[in-house]
Chains A and B, each alone.
Chain A
Amino acid sequence: MAQENSSTQPLLQLKGVSKHFGAVQALSKVDFEAKVGEVMALVGDNGAGKSTLIKGIAGIYSFDEGEIYFDSKLVHIHNPRDSAALGIEVVYQDLALADNLDVVANMFLGRERVRPPFSLDEGSMELSSIETLNSLSVTTLRSVRQTVAGLSGGQRQAVAVAKAVMWNSRLVILDEPTAALGVAQTRQVLDLVRRLADRGLAVVLISHNLHDVFEAADRITVLRLGQNVKVYSAKQTTQQEVVHAITAGTLQSVPGMN
């Protein structure tokens, strides 16, 4: 799984990024990286800066300082289109699916294939949806023509992930993908996360649930109060150690004191 990862260059690398909102320093001098074929977990307590970091990568807003390297090249991400062009896709916690549309319509929302002059190419979209879902070994969906309203939480998550990986994506960021799921569905989604990495994508997994994190992640980046604490290798650490880092990890500077 994580073979020779240590030797490869990271696909995404953030160096010393900061972001403040008014007087609140949400991120200060944070480093972060994600490698191809690897699941990088991003953990931290509420207010640690996880969401801020993700939204900066996704282009929802720009970082105040710091550099972003993608494929070892310095890039500038100012809006969601920039990040999508690089192949970065984010699966947000609320999934952003339209309940009244079917699976195919949701997977292609905003990027529908059109047969000239202007009718939707439903057949080709349906075929691609089925192929993508099959390639991710999503086994619980009965039809791609059922509306999302009728899907279970795990199935919705699977559709949202499939939607994200369909677009030449190279880095997929999952925000709390297991937050609202039962045991069996959590299992399915974690397997899916693992498969994404095994298929050559870089995966960033944000979760509060350390059990899930240890199950799926190769490495774990811990944030606390907007700063790096440490990056752990999942195999060489324990849940206790990570919990300690999240709640009482050593910081370079104490916020409000500098």
Chain B
Amino acid sequence: MSNTSDIVNDAAATTGTRRTTLAADASPQSAAEYVRAALKRMRGGDLGPLPIIFGLVLIVIIFQSLNDKFLTPHNFVNLIVQMAGVTAIAYGVVFVLLLGEIDLSVGYVSAVVGVSLVVMLRPGSVDSPTMFVWYTALPIALLIGAAIGILHGLIITTFQVPSFVVTLAGLLAWNGVVLAVIGEGGTLILQDQTILGVANSYLPPEWGWIAAVAVVAWFSIGTYLRTRARRKKGLHTTPISVTVVQVVAFAFVILFAVYVVNQDIVCHTVSDQNVCVQRGVPVVGVILLLLLVSLTFLTERTRFGRYIYAIGGNKEAARRAGIKVERTRVLVFMLSSLLAGVGGVILASRLRSVDTNAGGGQLLLNSIASAVFGGASLFGGRGKISNALLGALVIASVENGMGLLNISDAAQFIVTGLVLLAAVIVDALSRRRLAQSGVA
């Protein structure tokens, strides 16, 4: 049928078996070799998520020693809810960064979506209830977000103007839209119970356990099936002992996190009686994880994701390979605004309202910082969705810890800035080392 398959068959015939390894293959065969290879990579500057995990441990030690409320189940649950909005926005920022572009409009786009949702759910009078229920209002609000992203993308690709400028214009214009809808100085209260539940409800403890066990089972079975499929084809697999360690570590992290959040018991005094409620896994935490899994699948296991990396790495190569570069770029800006919208919904739900400050303040910078902090490159082609989650966790931890210590806003800004600077310098140093060792 083809010359190439003939060639391949010839090769197979002469060697007797289908060779599934390269002549100079150097993949690690045993756990010891695997660890040695990993250490060698690290010495070469490929630190992976290590610096950020180290930073996180450092932050925990510092804040816990200053205030023993920091490392409590209650504060951990609060932290998840506090970081959720920024994290969702940061997921979208990763997509844009992978292309080597930037989206400065995500803060106010999230506000536009949040405001649209709250406006649609505004309670009417008794005889004219709201036009929308949550399950129609939510998709419409998110569609508005997606449409804004498509608009940005079309302007960027049609007129070939830098995304920096287009989304900077978006930043201003959408801020104006938010102000116009809310009215100067106003606040719109969110009263829909379902949407309020997004950031204010928790899984019952037993549901948290079931979800955790399901996630662990899914991860283990998935790893097992993938390893088996590769082994059947004769391809290289990670040594079994290493895989087992990975699965056990994953299971431990998930189960321990659920254990911790299930310890969170909140007590109120209701008519002289002390009523205690167990909070458990926040629903937004589940949403963040579902987004993490599905977006990671999208970026790493689909053609669309592969094309995003290819365009970020070498736009001309992507074009010559027949990839529809401009269409992919528009879709990425759509995703960025859509995820900003998801973040906007979470923020509106957490604050139980939207006001004229929505989308402002540090929201934009924190979401971009989260992605960059976690390891997504500003120059395109390198990064993962999980980077945003780790980065947001660090930034939220710093803010949360300083909030517990009642540190002034001024000092908070300075500290956050210094932490970001430190992270970027560590990243730049490891990259330089990587370049010297000829790996990147």
Contact = CB atoms under 8 A, between A and B. Distances in A.
Interface of A: 80-81, 87, 92, 94, 96-101, 105-106, 109-112, 114, 118-120, 123-124, 126-128, 130-135, 137-145, 147, 149-150, 165-170, 199-201
**Binding site secondary structure of chain B:** loop
B312 A144 contact: no
A88 B303 CA distance: 24
Interface in B17-31: 18-27
B439 interface: yes
Given A99-B314, A139-B23, A150 B18 contact: no
A138 B23 CA distance: 8
Interface stretch (B78-86, B129-137, B317-325): B317-325
Given A80-B320, A142-B27, 5 more contacts: A96-B316, A101-B309, A132-B4, A141-B23, A147-B440
A120 B302 contact: yes
Given A131-B19, A134-B22, A143-B22, A165 B4 contact: yes
Interface string B1-28: 1111011101110000011111111110
Contacts of A131: 8, 11-12, 18-19
Interface in B347-382: 381-382
20 contacts: A96-B317, A98-B318, A99-B381, A100-B313, A100-B381, A100-B382, A105-B310, A110-B321, A120-B301, A120-B303, A130-B19, A131-B8, A135-B7, A142-B22, A142-B24, A142-B25, A142-B27, A149-B440, A168-B2, A200-B7
Contacts of B438: 150
B22 A130 contact: yes
Given A98-B381, A109-B310, A135-B11, A127 B302 contact: no
Contacts of A149: 439-440
A130 B317 contact: no
B225 to A, nearest CB: 11
Nearest to B11: A135
B322 A110 contact: yes
**Binding site secondary structure of chain A:** loop
A123 B301 CA distance: 12
B22 A144 contact: yes
* Residue picked from B229, B301, B313, B438, most chain A C-beta under 10 Å: B313
B169 to A, nearest CB: 30
A238 to B, nearest CB: 34
B21 A170 contact: no
A36 B412 CA distance: 71
B394 to A, nearest CB: 24
Contacts of A165: 3-4, 7
B23 A134 contact: yes
B321 A96 contact: yes
A150 B323 contact: no
B233 interface: yes
Contacts of A140: 24
Contact of A168 (B3, B23, B297, B302): B3
Nearest to A151: B438
* Residue picked from A109, A166, A170, most chain B C-beta under 10 Å: A109
Nearest to B15: A134
B280 to A, nearest CB: 33
Contacts of B327: none
Contacts of B10: 135, 199
A106 B309 CA distance: 11
B306 interface: yes
B235 interface: yes
A99 B21 CA distance: 22
A198 to B, nearest CB: 10
A99 B18 CA distance: 29
A142 B310 contact: no
A32 B349 CA distance: 70
Contacts of B322: 80-81, 110-111
Contacts of A106: 317
Contacts of A119: 297, 301-302
A70 to B, nearest CB: 14
Interface string B219-246: 0000000000110011110000000000
A114 B3 CA distance: 22
A148 to B, nearest CB: 9
B48 to A, nearest CB: 14
A170 B3 contact: yes
Nearest 9 pairs of A and B residues by beta carbon: A110-B321, A98-B313, A100-B381, A100-B313, A96-B317, A168-B2, A135-B11, A142-B26, A109-B321
A127 B301 CA distance: 17
Contacts of B24: 139-142
Contact of B3 (A99, A128, A139, A200): A200
B25 A143 contact: yes
A92 B319 CA distance: 13
Contacts of B4: 132, 165-169
